[in-house]
Each structure stands twice: as C-alpha cells, then as structure tokens.
A and B are shown apart, each in its own frame.
Chain A
C-alpha cells in the first residue's frame, strides 16, 4: 500500500510541490541561519583559532573576550615561564592600527605582534612569501582579504609599501587566515615592530601564549599558572568559548538569529501542517473507502507516515542543497568567507524536519484514525 500512498501524494502536483517547497524553505532557512550564526561566533574567536602552535593563553583575569585587552606587564612573561609544567611561553600582542596606502586609501587593521625570537602565532597558510621574511626590516605579512581591501582589483604581490603610525611598512608575505568578526585586514609583524605601529599604553603585552610540557595536563598547567601568577590562563578551546560566550551574552545576535530560526520552524510547520491536513481532508472519502475495503488503521498510519517521510526527505534535501550551494558559491567572497555548513547543523536541521513532519502528520493521522469507514455511504 506504500505505492498507493505515494501515488496519492504525488497525484495532486500543486499540493505535493507546496508541501515539498514548504519543508525545503524551512530547512534552508534554519540550516542557513544557524550556520551563519555559528560562522559569526567563530569569527569572534578567529585570532585565537589562527594561533595553532600554542595550547595555552594567559591574560588579565578580568578579560572577557579576545578583543577586550588589558595589557600585562612584561615581567609577567618571566613569571609564567617559571611555572612548573610550562614548556615555553612567548609574547603576543593584538591591537588595532590604521594602515595607509601610498595613494591615500586607509583601513583599520588588526595588528598581531609576534614574539621576535619564536614567531609563535605566525600564519600557517602562506600564499606568497614565508613567515621567516618577518625578520626583514619593516616586514609585515598581510592577509589576502586585507590586501584586496587595500589594493582592490590588484593581484596579490609582495613588496607593496604601506604606512602605519608614520612608519614605513613593507608587505613581505601574503597569508590566508580565518575571517575576523569585522572585515579588517589582519597584519602580522614582530612584537617589537608592533609597538611602533600602534599607539599603546605603558604596557603593550596583550597576551602570553604558552604550551605545556609533553605529557602534562594543559588544564592542570592552566590552574597552576593562575594560582602562581594571579593571571587568567585558558586552554585554547576554553578561550574560544570565553570569547563566544561573551558575544552571546552581550550582543543581540543570538536573539535575532534565534527568532529567524524559530520563524523558519514555525512557518515550515504551518505550511506543511496546513497543506498536509488539507490534502488529507480532500482524500477523506478515499481513506474511508480504503478502510471499508479492509485497510487497517495501522496500514493507514504507515501510509501517512510514508507520505510525510517522503515530503520531509525531499524538502530537507532541497533545503540543504540550497544552503550548501550558498556556502559553496560564497566561500571565496572575502566578506562572506568563513561561513560553512557544519555537519551538526545538518543533523539538527534533519531533526527539526522530522519534528515538523511529525507535527504536520499528527493532525491528519488523528483525523483518519478516527474516521468511520461508514462515511463512504454518506
């Protein structure tokens, strides 16, 4: 009888397509918006995620996000290095500075000051040049998105000269980094250079990045650093979540995205539920005839669930396909990069579609379940 159920479903093309596109719309909206939300949250922590060679971040204990920096004293570096279990520790500064091109174009840039000796936190994906080139006088590495903002339409190249805080800066490398929350160029240079490029307070040391001894528990090392230095120490994952948590608590982003996702769910449920119920009502006599002919309620239940499953499956596939196409098409657009469709979102959307189709079919199932087959004689 499953075949009959599918024929009934696809027989009325308009309602069938309405159902499928209703679910597809809901799937697309939910997966797209949740993915964008996840991408935005990851963007807030992009500078943490880009530092892959340090497992521990040390900062002021009152710090709430990677963007809200209270500089540490230079001596704090040595105090951290002295904590048992710390394999190494290095400086890392992060600040905003204005960068200007020769033709007067300027942008605010994120300036990452790397430890002069170890270059801990240097970009991993180099498109041109090498991080070793940071040793060259006035050398900086610029991310490709930032390059396109400063030199629009020009192919990436090293050797460009910029000006920061009245000082000459030479682009010695082009890298690709995680997209920052704001579309600022990201620039890497030596820590000692960064002090000259960016106006700063008495102290300039934003963070100390460190790593634990081999075999040591990073969480235990973080606790020890906190106890001995009175500074905050996080493993990289915790620091990412600290930043994301701050953004979630202190901005309207989660609420606004949540409303959009909820609307997707509600509209999807309403469209699918209403159309599915109308579809059932129009076929009520036919269902009654089937019951009179000996189709049990259980088989009718299976028929309706099969119809709901097919609509849900097709709608989900179309919706996810549309969302995937969006992320695939936009992945190389600088201001839209960094957004992707996490598998967890795909799974969550599938769960939501199951709930939508269940809610949509419950009313229909109830109507048909209680249908007296004698209706066929009325």
Chain B
C-alpha cells in the first residue's frame, strides 16, 4: 500500500503471521503480511475464499492475536494492549459491519444502532437520539422503530452501517457487506458507505470478493494463499480485472 509517514498511516501491518491448530494439524494462514492502510480512503481487501482475508481483518480489528508480527492502528501497537484495555480500544476506535448484519432481533433499528454508545457508557436516551440522527442520514429515518425482522436485507445492512459509525470510530472494518444482498441493494449500501463513512481522519477496510463493488474503493489489496499478491489503485485494478 502507500509508503507514507506514520501520521498518514491508519493501519500498519508488519510481518503478520498466523498459524491455526497445533502439531500435525497446524496450518499457516498468513505468511508475513506487510500492508499499510491510509485514512481518508476506502481500501478493499480482495481475494478468493480461504486466502486469509477474514483472518487478516480479524487481526487488524484486534479480535485475533497474530502468531508473529506487529499491527499498529493510528500509531498504537495492538500487541501492547491486553484484556480490558484492548476491548476498550476496540470499542472506541473501531466500527464493524458484518456480512450477516448481526443485529439484535429484539431491539429496534435505533436501539441496535446506539449499541456502541451504550458500550461506552452513554445514557440510553442520548445514545438513541444520536442513533436516530444517523439512521436519518442513511435514509432510514422512518424505520428507526422497526425491528430487524421488519426490514429488508439492504435496510438491515444500513442499520448496521449506522451502528458501526455512531460512535465515530477511526477505523471501519466491513466484512463482505454486500454478500447477502442483491445487486441493487449492494450498490446502495456501497454508495452509502462511501458517502457517510469517508472522512479525512478515518480509514475504511472492506473485505469482499464481490467484483461489483470494486468501483467504490480507492485502493485494493489483493490476497492469495495467505500472502499479499498486490496493492494497486482501484481504478487500475478494475481495468486489469475487467
């Protein structure tokens, strides 16, 4: 990715290696990954299934520990954070959009969207008010009191995006956000993601193998067999893969 100064780097992975299992079943999933992600951009992480995208994103998000190597998020070394400190860092700095949305079925859209604020100890009424504002920004102002079961897949994903952004994280991690959606809904979600999430101070990483969304990225990291095959501007990548 970009070889920029530390202050211009949102995510820096150095020699990230990951093994799963032990003994005869020990499998190396990541082979010394070195990548950087810049703020103010949407970075797409692409590659075939099983190439290590999900493992890498889990490590970047602080959900998995690398077997070796180093991950820095806005100059903060994740390896220096342990237990509750890591959890608090994640709660403050990172927003998540999941493939299956993972909305709580018993909560309304506004209640789901305000969860990261509640995790940070905000008052429920304030948190719901802020969540409603963000839902309006993603075009769901009229659905704030609907439960997930009353929303379409695209609408649920928009609620998930509102949830991921409500606490103003500096890193947004999206795992296959369009995989469960039809083409039209996927396009809407990606347009929305680009419109509401891009910020000069925020980095967005989208894991995908949906070639339809390549046009919404600024930069693409291509992975294969646990390694980074290439890093290129999205425009060039689209042309070479069209």
Using a CB–CB cutoff of 8 Å, the interface residues on chain A facing chain B are 1, 3-4, 7-8, 10-12, 283, 285-286, 288-296, 372-374, 376-378
Contact = CB atoms under 8 A, between A and B. Distances in A.
Contact of A293 (B84, B96, B111, B124): B96
Interface in B100-116: 100, 102-107, 111, 115-116
Nearest to A289: B102
A286 B102 contact: yes
A374 B63 CA distance: 5
Nearest to B104: A286
Interface size, B (range)? 20 to 34
B116 A376 contact: no
Given A293-B115, A293-B116, A8 B106 contact: yes
B98 A12 contact: no
8 contacts: A7-B104, A11-B106, A285-B102, A289-B102, A292-B96, A293-B90, A376-B63, A376-B175
Contact of B104 (A8, A294, A372, A376): A8
B91 interface: yes
B90 A294 contact: yes
Contacts of B124: 3
Given A7-B107, A11-B105, A376-B102, A1 B118 contact: yes
B54 A376 contact: no
A156 B84 CA distance: 75
Interface string B216-237: 0000000000000000000000
Contacts of A288: 102
Contacts of A289: 96, 98, 102
Interface in B194-215: none
B168 interface: no
A4 B96 contact: no
A265 B10 CA distance: 56
B84 A4 contact: no
A378 B57 CA distance: 12
Given A374-B58, A377-B57, A294 B106 contact: no
A283 B107 CA distance: 13
Contacts, number: 77
A1 B114 CA distance: 11
Contacts of B61: 292
- For the residues of A in contact with B, the DSSP-based class is helix
Contacts of B116: 293-294
Nearest to A376: B98
A117 B214 CA distance: 109
B87 A294 contact: yes
B169 to A, nearest CB: 10
B115 A290 contact: yes
Contacts of A294: 87-88, 90-92, 116, 119-120
A118 B61 CA distance: 90
Contacts of B6: none
Nearest to B147: A11
A4 B58 contact: no
A376 B175 CA distance: 9
A292 B118 CA distance: 14
Contacts of A285: 100, 102
B63 A4 contact: no
A294 B115 CA distance: 10
A338 B100 CA distance: 60
Interface string B83-99: 01001101110001011
B68 interface: no
A283 B88 CA distance: 22
A377 B58 contact: yes
Contacts of A283: 104
Contacts of B81: none
A256 to B, nearest CB: 43
Nearest to B115: A293
Contacts of B99: 377
A7 B118 CA distance: 14
Give 5 closest A-B pairs by Cβ, nearest first.
A294-B91, A11-B106, A289-B102, A374-B63, A374-B58
B91 A293 contact: yes
A373 B65 CA distance: 12
B87 A4 contact: no
